[in-house]
Amino acid sequence: MARAAATPETRSVRLLKVGEQVRHVISELLTRQEVHDDVLSAYTISVTEVRMSPDLRHAHVYVKPLLGSDEELVLKALRTNTAFFQKMVAGKLKLKYAAKIKFMADETFDEASRIDALLNDPKVLRDLESD
């Protein structure tokens, strides 16, 4: 039987708090350009969300470069520097285990744009006006 996807409502407060702390540490590292990488220094990167596994050993970090430009290039640079991020997060948070970080593209903005385009479709607007 497949496990249901965790929603913010079903995740524990501790998971949310630790995820938010990880997000702040990674955002600070990127803002202060402490990562010595030319690609990461050239782009403004938003860390939109961090989802922690229930045992706090894995962190899925969702990122989006400003304006969504060169997303694959930015993700490759982040994944290349994963060990640095893991070391810095482990040092600042002092958890029992250092979380394994996995960087992923945040698709929520693209999904929101798609839904907005659907809602602005003339056929949908016509149906809404008839009510």
What CATH code is carried by the domain that includes residue 68?
Answer: 3.30.300.20
pLDDT score at 1: 41
One-letter amino acid at 51 equals: R
Q: Is residue 2 part of a domain?
A: no
Quote the domain boundaries for residue 58.
13-106
Q: Is residue 114 part of a domain?
A: no
Q: Is residue 44 part of a domain?
A: yes
pLDDT score at 85: 92
Asked if the model's pLDDT at residue 3 lies above 60, the reply is: no
Q: Is residue 125 part of a domain?
A: no
Q: How many structural domains compose the chain? A: 1
Q: Is residue 111 part of a domain?
A: no
Residue in 93, 30, 34 with CA at minimum distance from that of residue 59? 93
**pLDDT greater at residue 20 or residue 96:** 20
Residue 90: count of CB within 10 angstroms of its CB: 15
Q: Is residue 6 part of a domain?
A: no
At 38, is the pLDDT very low, low, confident or very high (cuts 50, 70, 90)?
confident
Q: What is the pLDDT of residues 47-104, one digit of tens each?
A: 999 999 998 899 999 998 887 678 889 899 999 999 999 999 988 888 778 889 999 9
**Cα 53 to chain centroid, rounded:** 14
Q: Is residue 121 part of a domain?
A: no
Note the pTM of the prediction, 2 decimals: 0.76
Q: Is residue 5 part of a domain?
A: no
pLDDT score at 126: 77
Burial call 16-45: b when 16+ CB within 10 Å, e when fewer: eebbebbbebbbebbeeeebeeebbeebeb
CA–CA distances in Å: residue 34 to residues 40, 99, 103, 113? 10, 19, 17, 33
What whole-number distance in Å separates Cα of residue 25 and Cα of residue 89? Answer: 6
